[in-house]
Structure 1
Amino acid sequence: MREVIRLLSHYAESHRNPTNEKIHFVCVPVIVWTVLGLVWSIHPWAAYAGAALALIYYVTLSIPFAFGMTVMASIMLLILQNIPQAYVLPTAGAVFVIAWIGQFIGHKIEGKKPSFFEDVRYLLIGPLFVLSFLYRRLNIRY
């Protein structure tokens, strides 16, 4: 079994409740944006570098997922470029906290702990889990 399929299958085990899935569909991309925003507030190039490192990992898992995440990261970085620098940190920080509260509410509903408590790589797999639903609808193999 390919590593990406194994990781997604394991991640899915704690994301079966429809309400938890819906929460994740919203909160996971938002958290990715907030993390980029928090790093951006240190220095924009740090956000680009962080995104590049994540994309290198995604290439090792799946070229189609790496492409999708490149599109997503590019849009998120473009949004950050267009926000006044003074607003990035407070906005990203507040939204980060709210989105994580949503995630933990989803896991309370699910009755299972978040996967990243077992392995921090699942922090990078969450976005692929969300993207996998879009890929299946569009019949894109990953």
Structure 2
Amino acid sequence: MRAIDQWFDQYGESHHNPINKLLHWICVPLITFAVLGILWAIHPWVSLIAVAAAMAFYVMLSWRIAAVMLVISLLMLLILWNMDVVLLPSIAIFVLAWIGQFIGHHLEGKKPSFFKDMQFLLIGPIWLIGALFRTLGLRY
């Protein structure tokens, strides 16, 4: 298994354009929320199982990053818990956020990382957290 720095370096290779980076800061959390929402609409337990599986992957990379991602995931689940309608807004957010992602990658001139390896779909959210850690001088 690759170390977290290797994942972040490889993911970062296609994320240099400032507009693409900005779009990722907006769209990646929205996509994460939308995926959890779609899974929640199937059944809340499905979204909880997905969070648990993602956490298992994240803990193997960095318990600190995993802890932050767990808090974010639980906040997203709390929002979903309090929503009356989940599926249609989640689908709309998912589609619009992916359009934003593909616009960003078009501007970047590089394909999204997940075309190389589907695991990069899990790396996107923690790549943002890793950037915050680096900005704050924290170890992950």
The TM-score with structure 1 as length reference comes to 0.96
Equivalent residue for 1:22? Answer: 22
What is the CA–CA distance in structure 1 between the aligned matches of 2:129 and 2:25, rounded to whole Å? Answer: 9
Q: 5+ residue gaps in structure 2?
A: none
Aligned to 1:74: 74
The alpha-carbon deviation at position 137 of structure 1 amounts to 2.2
Q: Which residue of 2 aligns with 1:88?
A: 86
Partner SS, residue 14 of structure 2: coil
- What is residue 104 of structure 1 aligned with on the other side? 102
- Given residue 4 of structure 2, which amino acid in structure 1 is its aligned partner? V
Question: Within 1, Cα distance between the matches of 2:55 and 2:82?
Answer: 22
Amino acid aligned to 2:92: A
Amino acid in the other structure paired with 1:27: C
What amino acid sits opposite 2:72 in the alignment? M
Name 1:31's counterpart in structure 2. Answer: 31
Residue pairs, 1:46-85, within 5 angstroms:
46-84=46-84
User: Could you list the per-position Cα deviations for residues 48-86 of structure 1 after superposition, in whole angstroms to 9, with x for gaps in the alignment?
Assistant: 1110100010000111110111011011001000101xx
Taking only aligned residues, the RMSD between alpha carbons, in angstroms, comes to 0.8
Task: Spell out structure 1 runs of 4+ moving beyond 2 A.
Answer: none
Give the number of equivalent residue pairs: 139
Amino acid at match of 1:136: R
User: By how many angstroms is 1:130 displaced?
Assistant: 0.9
1:113 and 2:111 equivalent? yes
Once residues 44 and 130 of structure 1 are traced to their aligned partners in structure 2, the CA distance between those partners, rounded to angstroms, is: 26
1:139 CA displacement: 1.8
